[in-house]
Chain A
Amino acid sequence: MEGRHDSSPMQAFDKDVLEMTCEDVYDISYVIGRDLLKVNTGSRECSDLQFKIVRVLEMFETMVNKYNLSLEELRMELENMKREMERVVAEGSSGDVNTQTVGPNKLVVDLKDPNRPRFTMQELKEVLQERNKLKAQLLLAQEELQLYKSGVLGSEQKMVEVNLETLPQSEAAPSSVVEENKEKSTIQKLFSFRQK
């Protein structure tokens, strides 16, 4: 059995629309009905107006009902979601350590993978720079070889000066040995380098 509202019927008029219930709509209906009776002339126009108001208030009743039902449904769903989330969080915190979650921008690497990345960007840069330099030197050397082949043998001025300091330190020793054998054969001359 529906309980009684605990305020006078007039207070329904001051209520916030979104907090209304069907009971408030009924209170409003009673007050308006009573006031209409006071001004009722018994004419058809009055009666038609009265029933138009009935219709509008019935629509209002339906909407208030629907609104409150939807609100209730949403609340329940929210409750369910909250409980679900709590359950998942509880499960997660007490779960398997191997199943660690990975943070953003991270890469998981298998240490047994032979194709795993091993060098840093810096290392790669250095190696590439050295390669480029050696490549350039090789090209020059090939050009010189061509020149010598095509008849510019024995010319000392045509010897290629190379800055030994650009070469890795491990090769410094053999160059000093080469310098001592200036009277060597042509081929040796070709392949000797004047040390600066």
Chain B
Amino acid sequence: MKDRLIKRLQDQIKAIHTHKAAPAVPKEYLGMLEYKKENESRLIRTLILELKPRGVGVLMIPGLAAHLLFMCVRHADYLNDGNKLKSLMNGIISAIKEVITNQQESFEVLSFWLSNTYHFLNCLKQYSGDEEFMKHNTLRQNKNCLRNFDLSEHRQILSDLAINIYHQFISVMEDALFPMIIPGMLEHESLQGISSMKPTGFRKRSNSVYEDGGDHSGSEPFSVTDILQQLDASHTSMAQHGMEPQLQGQVIRQLFFLIGATSVNSILLRKDLCSCRKGMQIRCNISYLEEWLREKDLQSSCAMETLGPLSQVAWLLQVNKTTDEDAAEIKQRCSELSPVQIVKILNSYTPIDDFEKRVTPSFVRKVQALLQEREGSSQLMMDSQYRFQVTFPFCSSPQALELLQVPSNLRLGFVTRI
């Protein structure tokens, strides 16, 4: 018994000497990351420049990179070290710029940094001490606010950077999506009994829908399924990078707009697309897109509204175009189309068989007369390059900074959790 007691006491002495005393209370962390000034460039390199957009830690915890960066910012502020803080903030902003410039074609990198820049911006607001951003904070989160420095100027720069990344991101996605729109929405015929082209059905997607330059020369043409798969890939990536759902919605809305505008413009220029049958096909495809939105819970994104003009064109192609009542209905239903556009479609309308008649010039005149009061631009085509203005409304994060640990595969061993 005595021996055991002696041994136990010896162990305790040893533990005290090596600071490994079994703690009764777990260590309380402050939610900051300490790093030596000379390690700043290494920090930025590891956490921004060389950080892979897909990794265990960053995928499990949305916005992890942003939060870890903010914890470093907090510590510099805590030390009341203005130079360190300024250097860090500028370093972060430059590094993000560098990454998105070097990898401007990379969908993954752009998605990742769009998400994390937005998160970082939100952190700066949430812990700024500004009351308007503190409404959803816990008591502890309020305690974690910045004490000594005001970073609102840097917030502005970051906001501009985020807008930049957004537009780059949209461009990359549009480049991938564009080749699919006309074949997929307009040309491919999937409806039963009226197909002249073999329906492709579900087609296995290549390993990267963004690496495959969408070159389908010689292989099967695109169908609406391909469009949906492309949207899927975009959406999955954004979700996995923890992008705020509201920002995801803005992205999807912009993409839907491109689909709608490109389709309308094509129809306006091609007589072969102006038939009743085409109208049916387009309505069918629009319903697939709508279903996809519902599946992904993106109805609040207002993406469907951007398909309004296309939807009305499809209706116009299908409806009877002979009587006065028809003309009145057209005026009523095609609210988003300009008179120029409506007239063009009526004139281009091509019957598929002998039973159908062309639209008579007198009917067209009737419609024109009804639309006279309507102010429409004289421009025939829609501006498919138009971009909705992106906004980054403040989003509070429930993440408790003092509970955040640093995953070891991020190789941040030179940084200390405080």
Contacts and interface: CB of A to CB of B under 8 A. Distances in A.
B217 interface: no
B297 to A, nearest CB: 14
Interface in B32-58: 54-57
A19 interface: no
Nearest to B407: A54
B61 A42 contact: no
B204 A6 contact: yes
A23 B400 contact: no
B60 A33 contact: yes
B207 A58 contact: no
A55 B409 CA distance: 8
Given A3-B211, A4-B233, A54-B60, A30 B240 contact: yes
A42 B401 CA distance: 11
Residue from B54, B60, B206, B404 having most chain A Cβ neighbours under 10 A: B60
A6 B54 CA distance: 15
Classify chain A: how many residues form its interface, as a range.
Answer: 20 to 34
Interface string A1-37: 1111110110000000000000101100110110011
B378 interface: no
Interface in B56-98: 56-57, 59-62
Interface stretch (A44-52, A75-83, A84-92): A44-52
A134 to B, nearest CB: 93
B393 interface: no
A51 B407 contact: yes
B60 A4 contact: no
A23 B59 CA distance: 11
A26 B55 contact: yes
Contact of B400 (A37, A47, A55): A47
B208 A26 contact: no
A159 interface: no
A50 B105 CA distance: 33
Interface residues of B, number: 35
B389 to A, nearest CB: 29
A57 interface: yes
A58 B409 contact: yes
A25 B409 CA distance: 14
A42 B206 CA distance: 40
Nearest to B232: A8
Contacts of B287: none
B56 A57 contact: yes
Contacts of B209: 4
Contacts of B416: none
B405 interface: yes
A76 to B, nearest CB: 22
Nearest to B140: A42
B407 A1 contact: no
Nearest to A46: B403
Given A4-B237, A44-B403, A30 B208 contact: no
A29 B407 CA distance: 13
Contact of B407 (A26, A30, A47, A55): A55
Nearest to B209: A4
A145 to B, nearest CB: 100
B361 interface: no
Contacts of B208: 1-4
A53 interface: yes
B218 interface: no
B106 interface: yes
Contacts of B403: 44, 47-48
B56 A54 contact: yes
B236 A32 contact: no
Contacts of A1: 103, 105-106, 108-109, 208, 211
Contacts of B205: 6
Nearest to A1: B106
Contacts of A6: 204-207
A37 to B, nearest CB: 8
Given A2-B54, A2-B108, A26-B54, A57 B60 contact: yes
Nearest to A40: B398
A44 B26 contact: yes
A53 B60 contact: yes
Contacts of B405: 47, 51, 54
Contacts of A4: 207-210, 233, 237
Contacts of B56: 25-26, 29, 54, 57-58, 61
Contacts of B59: 26, 29-30, 33
A29 B53 CA distance: 13
A4 B108 CA distance: 9
Nearest to B405: A51
Given A26-B54, A42-B138, A55-B408, 9 more contacts: A1-B103, A3-B207, A4-B208, A8-B236, A29-B56, A37-B62, A50-B61, A54-B405, A57-B60
21 contacts: A1-B108, A1-B109, A1-B208, A2-B54, A3-B206, A4-B209, A6-B207, A8-B236, A9-B236, A26-B59, A33-B59, A42-B400, A44-B403, A47-B403, A47-B404, A50-B61, A51-B405, A54-B57, A54-B60, A57-B56, A58-B408
